[in-house]
Amino acid sequence: MKKYKKIFRLLPLDQRRFKFLYIFSILLIFCLFGRLVKLQVFNASDLQRKARLIQSSKTNALKKRRAIVDRNNRLIAYDKPFYKLWAHPKYFNFPGDSINRVRSIEEVTEKLSTILDIHDEILLRKFNNKMSGIKLLDKISEENAEKIKNLQISGLDLFKYSQRYYPQRELYSNLVGFVNDENKASAGLELYLDNQIKVFNKSNLIKRGGDGTPLPDNSAPGDFISDYKSLGLTIDSKLQKASFNALSKQVTKWKAKKGFAIVMDVNNGQILSLVTFPSYDPNKFWQYNSELFRGWYSQDLFEPGSTFKPINLALALEEKVIQKDGVVEDIGEINVGGWTLSNWDKKGNGYIDYPKVLQVSSNVGMVKIMQNLDPKIYWDWLKNLGINKNLETDLFESTAGQLKRKDLFVNQSIEPAVTSFGKGFSISPLKLVQLHAALANGGFEVTPHVTSTFKERVNKNPKKQFFSDEVSKTVLEWMESVVDKGSGSGVRIEGYRIAGKTGTSQKALNGSYTSKKVCSFVATLPVNDPKYAVLVVVDEPSKSFAYGSTVAVPVAKEIIESLIVIEKIPPKIKDHGMIVKKP
């Protein structure tokens, strides 16, 4: 059969159709180009950011604050890890279940109640017909959190966080302070040294592939290691506890407003113990009056009274207005500028030497001694001692002492007269112990501090010398006679040479003195090789016969007895003026 070829006739393209396809193609190209410009130019940075989020993950250390430890590495404060448990009932699914199966709330709470030791009815009430975002519990321990993880129940989320914990509770609270519920430093060293305690870890990015697998990068060794250094204190926890017990017992016994006790190394300013009472538990800070959070030992001022008399005697010796073997007449009272000043007991002591002035705490004797010193020179000495300056320290921000203007001090004879026995000006307890440390160490200024790293900053500055070594030794021996024969005899310990001075000063209110008192006692030991200064201050004891000798001295003795044991201070005995080791 003959085959025929089919012939198609080509017709010319319709011009309108051709123009339409041409214009549509051009528009499509322009749209694609416009989209490309938008992605590459206008949205580039945003797309890069989204890509980085997918391709990398940010790592941050969970630890937020350094631990605080004493000089023997005993924990004082640290971050304790806890977990919050969140529930999403619409996703509840047990291991081995089909992907679409949803377990009941009752089935889940039954398993949780066993681990958490909480009745399942209590857990059930927390759901309150909600199906997502339910906070069941917080403060879940790491042990229980691990048990919950091992259940592998879908719909349960554990969120890890840290909470500051203070294992020694009220023992350090007035020194260390606390961190509030929002993890913000709120008092004490936690607040004052916040930048040193915070852990500043740099953020690190781990690169990932499309499937989430970590990719190698150029991270240096140690880039992902958290900073776990502790803040070390110079405090000894055993001595801290002994000091706290002694102080709290006496403050309670005398129904006093508050009390303070400190032990400091006179050669370098390291504080071995620092306690105040009343105190508070920083783990439950919200239960206490905020007044307790203050570091009043560096922020509040008081008239030091007779505990300043040894400082004044050192000034008189330095200016050579008295001699070591001199005497002064004490008839019990003296008139200065129309004011009558008297001894604490209104009695005279006759002609007495300077050690006796301290032993009986003679106000009249001190007035006559310091009248030999030109008031201008006297005031300059007080300024040089830093009476009216802030004390540099790593504790609470200190308050500068109050000193009368120089023109008033020079032109009104009553001012230097009352200053001679520790009145008419005010300082902080911390400043007082600093001055007595200078008397003990040969006259050099030291800075009270509690952190181990503080010395690195202090040692850069040359030591300032207040008194000569000879004057310091002389005054210290005179103070020793106060313990041997005077008002400080209650602190005497057989085999140890201890110097001391009691103080009982009235508190001023609106320019006049009241019946309220501040009782204090300062001690230095051992006299033959001075190393420790102990200061006890008890504010407003409310019972009768409250003096430095009856209120503060017993606290100091208990502290010194503990100090001798903890620091292993060897005993010494006097033998005809010679110091020998006790066999």
Residues with catalytic roles: 306
Which amino acid does the sequence have at 139?
K
Token duo for residue 279: 């105190």
- Helix, strand and coil content of the chain, in percent to the nearest 5, comes to 40, 25, 40
Three-state SS annotation for 66-91: CCEECCCCCEEEEEEEEEEEEECHHH
Q: In what order do the strands lie in the sheet with 512-525?
A: 271-277, 258-265, 532-539, 512-525, 499-509
Q: Examine residue 214 and say whether the peptide bond preceding it is cis (omega within 30 degrees of 0).
A: no
Q: How many residues does the chain have?
A: 583
Cβ 107 vs Cβ 185: under 8 Å: no
Q: What are residue 572's DSSP bridge partners?
A: 581
Give dist(CA 222, CA 344) in Å, integer.
67
Q: How far apart are the first and last CA of the chain?
A: 145
Instruction: Find where tokens 């024969």 sit.
Output: 485
**What single-letter DSSP state applies at residue 442?**
T
In degrees and rounded to multiples of 5, residue 260 shows phi and psi of -145, 140
Residue 355, preceding peptide bond in cis (omega within 30° of 0): no
Among candidate residues 81, 68, 167, the one with its CA nearest the CA of residue 450: 68
Burial 196-228 (b: 16+ CB within 10 A, else e): ebeeebeeeeeeeeeeeeeeeeeeeeeeeeeee
